[in-house]
Chain A
Amino acid sequence: MADARSEILMALRLALTDCPDPGPAPRPGADAAFGPADPQALAAACARCGVRLLPVADWAQARAAVADLLRELDVRSATFWNHPDLAPLDLPALCAARGIEVIPAREESIRDLARADIGITSALGLLAESGSILVAAGADTPRSTSLLPETHLAVVPPGRTVPGIANLAPLLRSLADVQGRPPSALHAITGPSSTGDIEMVVVKGVHGPVRAVVVAVAAQ
């Protein structure tokens, strides 16, 4: 008896003798990952999906916005990406000044991130059509930071507007490594975690963060 793989492929080939292979897929629409910022579209999309959007003019304002948020949410513990995007915020100093415990994202103790009140990341892009925060997994950008803490805050540098869902394709292609592989994970985070599974009543914060906040730094 043939193995499952060849049997399935053979069955499919026989099944499709009535129609020719359609050949390569068309590449319509988007060929660039990024586009011009559209603050209004982004604001409307964020409002719809429940992302709290805080637009700021520069990095100094971004730092102030982050400090305000830490105060407002009475954050006691935080975890953040060790990533160049976030360097202008000097998060270690910001946390130290407020006596906030910093929980490092280490492989062996990654579950500790569930204790953090807030997880701070940057983002590869902001998807204007849907209000999504786009994050990719990498050595200095763990997945858990945007997943386990109660609040996810993304501080997004200027020039990261991804206009529409169609632009996800060129974005992923632009992220390919030398072997042509996309990142191990790309997440489009479109609001806080939510469910409507009991009587269709929407509840924010089921398994993932209860709150999703974006501080978007405007282009100078």
Chain B
Amino acid sequence: MTGSTPFRAAAAAALADRRLRATLKSAVAVFRGNRARGLALLAPAEFEALRHRAAEVRRRCLRSLPVLLERLEHNVVAAGGHVHWARTGAEANEIVARIAAAEGVRLAVKGKSMVTEETGLNAALAARGVEAVETDLGEWIVQLADEKPSHIVAPAMHKNRREVSELFHKHLGEPLSDDIPELTLMARRALRARFLAADMGITGANMAVAETGSVVLVENEGNIRMSTTLPRVHVAVMSIEKVVATLDDMAALLAVLPRSCTGQTLSSYTSILSGPRRPGEADGARVFHLVLLDNGRSALVADPAMRDVLACVRCGACINVCPVYAHVGGHSYGSAYCGPMGSLLAPLLARAQGAPEAATLAELPFACTTCGACASVCPVRIDHPTLLLELRRRAANAPETAGLAPLGPRAAAAFARLATRPGLWRAAAAAARVLDPGLLLARRMPGVGTAITLWARSRRPPRLRRPFSARWPALRRSLEDSNG
């Protein structure tokens, strides 16, 4: 467990950055409070019923993916749209670039999209002379700063008003201000001009409905409505797992997505778009393209133990309750995806893609306390800890990642046994973390000693000012808050 890796170095740097940690802490607290307030409007059993239904929808639709994708394609075409298939991120970028070239596009406005972040679309378009402007406020701030998003819902969560103001001063010539509404107004003015001038709007998709060929987009700012209403061309890039069968399935997911994300019953704008504008209509894109991206998903479908990861609807709830995320921030993960869902999706996709960063991303599952807060909030009931433990086991067994694993195969097996006995696990972990900081006791616990000892050691990234065990009481309090 010596030596640094990208995650450890980034995490250690983030941990040493006091301002960043304070920002993260208050931001995730706001998210958690919003979600709690939103859910308090429903009886607990009511929300559980909605979760149950959403979990059923996602799993059922994953099981009939090929049929649903074909039906979706058929109905998008029937509605006057075009459908493209991309095996890799590079293929998807190439498809979008070719559409842009064919349509004579110079300026594209973009809605926040995890998938185009994953494929690196902006750089690919820039290389072809197409300017792609992010229009989600947080995403735009991050683009101006030439950084990467640090949260899937609030991309600029790591930046404070001063830093934003300095960016607007530098790039827009605006006077410095620490008034957030004023800063927002500056952005509105600057981006309005781009919406009105753009030739193409590029968005992701929260889901697509096979029954009708509709793409569903959920947002609060209105930038996605702008991007799909004013430019001539709308291109939606969606990963293949996001298709659902029917409008009822769509409604079932809408009933949990904003509630889990921001606590809103619905976000400010839910748009259900079915093909391009029809004859006689005065606005809306004239041309609609849907790009269906695999980029490792089909290989994940082929992995029954991990298939569940694809049920994710990207609400961000698991990220906001994750004690590790709150301490290290989104950039530490080295991927477009962060937190518990990112610790699963990033290594799995990288591996399926045969990407060079697969070996380093394989470390992410090890940065988990297995506290289970993520699984308890997930609106589609993904059981992150169990899946993360399975990924640890795999990493420990694979020669190219065995060095990353703080656990040898034997210890990993002990881990797996523990994972199936949560009571024992909790007791052992609690002993290790709180009662037994020297790990003298845990080491002697039959069958678990090695695992716990190694585990607890591995929880101490190098160069931390305070060991993890010293931070545990505070972490535990924050977890209890979030679960309460």
Contact = CB atoms under 8 A, between A and B. Distances in A.
B282 A142 contact: yes
A190 B259 CA distance: 13
A147 B283 CA distance: 11
Interface in A158-186: 165-169, 172-173, 179, 181-186
Given A5-B85, A110-B283, A166-B248, A184 B223 contact: no
Contacts of A131: 265
Interface stretch (A63-71, A118-126, A200-208): A200-208
B150 to A, nearest CB: 12
B221 interface: yes
A5 B141 CA distance: 36
A193 B222 contact: yes
Interface string B341-356: 0000000000000000
Interface string B219-263: 011110110111000000000100001111111101100000010
Given A192-B268, A208-B226, A4 B85 contact: yes
A187 B270 contact: yes
B269 A193 contact: yes
Given A8-B240, A12-B298, A107-B283, A198 B265 contact: no
A49 B265 contact: yes
Given A114-B192, A169-B248, A195-B220, A186 B272 contact: yes
Contact of B281 (A24, A127, A138, A198): A138
Contacts of A84: none
A207 B266 contact: no
Contact of A166 (B229, B251, B282): B251
Contact of A190 (B57, B268, B277): B268
Interface in A100-127: 105-107, 110-111, 114, 127
Nearest to B267: A190
A167 B266 CA distance: 14
Nearest to A7: B87
A207 B274 contact: no
Contacts of B138: 195, 197-198
Given A25-B245, A114-B196, A188-B269, A203 B181 contact: yes
B464 interface: no
A25 B85 contact: no
Interface residues of A, number: 81
Interface residues of B, number: 97
A149 to B, nearest CB: 12
B277 A168 contact: no
Interface stretch (B114-122, B299-307, B368-376, B472-480): B299-307
Given A22-B64, A137-B281, A168-B247, A181 B275 contact: yes
Contact of A165 (B64, B66, B266): B266
Given A130-B265, A142-B281, A142-B283, A18 B298 contact: no
B250 A169 contact: yes
Contact of B251 (A15, A165, A181): A165
Given A184-B277, A203-B180, A25 B60 contact: yes
A142 B278 CA distance: 11
Interface of B: 23, 26-27, 30-31, 41, 53, 57, 60, 63-67, 69-70, 78-79, 85-87, 91, 135-138, 141, 154-157, 159-161, 164, 180-181, 183-184, 187-188, 191-192, 195-196, 212-214, 220-223, 225-226, 228-230, 240, 245-252, 254-255, 262, 264-284, 292, 294, 298-299, 301-302, 304
Given A188-B269, A198-B141, A208-B268, 11 more contacts: A9-B69, A147-B226, A165-B266, A182-B272, A184-B281, A188-B270, A195-B220, A197-B138, A199-B180, A206-B222, A207-B225
6 contacts: A27-B248, A165-B251, A172-B212, A188-B266, A198-B180, A199-B180
Interface of A: 3-5, 7-9, 11-16, 18-30, 45, 48-49, 105-107, 110-111, 114, 127, 129-132, 137-139, 142-144, 147, 165-169, 172-173, 179, 181-201, 203, 205-209
